[in-house]
Amino acid sequence: MTETVLITGGAGFIGRFVADELLRRGNRVRVLDSLIPQVHGDVDRPPLLSVEVELIRGDVRDGDTVARALHGVDSVVHLAAEVGVGQSMYEVERYTSTNDVGTAVLFERLIDQPVRRVVTASSMSIYGEGLYRDADGALREDVERGMVRDGMADWDPVDGEGRRLSPVATPEWKRPNLASIYALNKYVQERTTHIMARPYGIEGVCLRLFNVYGPGQALSNPYTGVLAIFASRLLNGQRPMIFEDGEQRRDFVHVTDVARAFVDALVLPQAAGETFNIGSGHDRSVTEVAQALAQAMGRNDIQPDIVGKARIGDIRHCFCDTTLAADRLGFTARADFIAGLAELAEWVGAQTAEDRVGQARAELEKRGLVA
């Protein structure tokens, strides 16, 4: 099936790969993106965006611009969003306006200009803490750590008797626990998609992305993915900064796998109306990942800076149960993690990046968001 596809926020890291995958499959691609300086720097068109992509520079909150972008479009991939847990906790209006109002504007315009399907990018952050198993073998989906403080002897959540809980892969049925404004925003985007799509004859799909990595990330944005932040620090000869004790576990999935998932979710009939986790299905500690990236970049001499502090809104463990995506989308991550790090390292080595991590940490500390 060949279509004209609009990607909101499509000039960003993930959007460019989705555009390439759509083009590879014979589609026409249009991108609506505001090109904010924090992500893109001062550019009129990102150099990594394919020349075959039609670019409309504009804000997803501008109804007239959205209507123009939707003209002649068959389907939509909705990626436009402010991204970052930490920054969302003090740039509350900016995040809520772009993420929630922007999604509302898009769906308002879709009432008069409906498309076949919308696939919206959600986030693993909506889970808060992932799924756990207690000492008696029961699954726990309501886990919260409460207030965490520096110097804690044990950062892991415990049950009412003080027994440590064991993290397990998190499936889509696990109830949301919205621990940050960003998580709240992404859940609103999900629910808006499902609430608004069906009454207007549109098929809605949401993908909950875990930690996406790969070449082309915004290295100078201190609120982007953790691997890009670590890469920027290492590129500048600085130690990657890791909160808590570094043993928190995450799922890292390559951007090419994510792009393939978006395009499959756009076309497969069985995806309609569903929400899927998209991850690699493998969990790793943050310290392990930082050390592997340092090795890939040839900076084994730089050890992570494990600061022993926590950021408000951060969670301990959350990694991906990929069963539903495998069953319904036929999705299995293909990229090898070590090979993916080597590719990332090669790309990073040819870049320059302004290290703003210290500035971002100072902003969080000033507002009491680092405990």
For the annotated catalytic residues, the residue numbers are 182
User: Is residue 45 within 8 Å of 113, Cβ to Cβ?
Assistant: no
**Measured CA angle at 86 (ends 82, 92), to 5 deg:** 55
Exposed e or buried b for every residue in 163-173, given b needs 16+ CB within 10 A? eebebbbbbbe
Reduce the DSSP state of residue 271 to 3 states and report it: helix
18, two tokens:
């989705």
296, two tokens:
């890939």
The amino acid present at 323, given as its one-letter code, is T
Exposed e or buried b for every residue in 250-270, given b needs 16+ CB within 10 A? bbbbbbbbbbbbbbbbbebee
User: Is residue 243 within 8 Å of 296, Cβ to Cβ?
Assistant: no
User: Is residue 126 within 8 Å of 176, Cβ to Cβ?
Assistant: yes
29 φ, ψ (degrees, to nearest 5): -125, 130
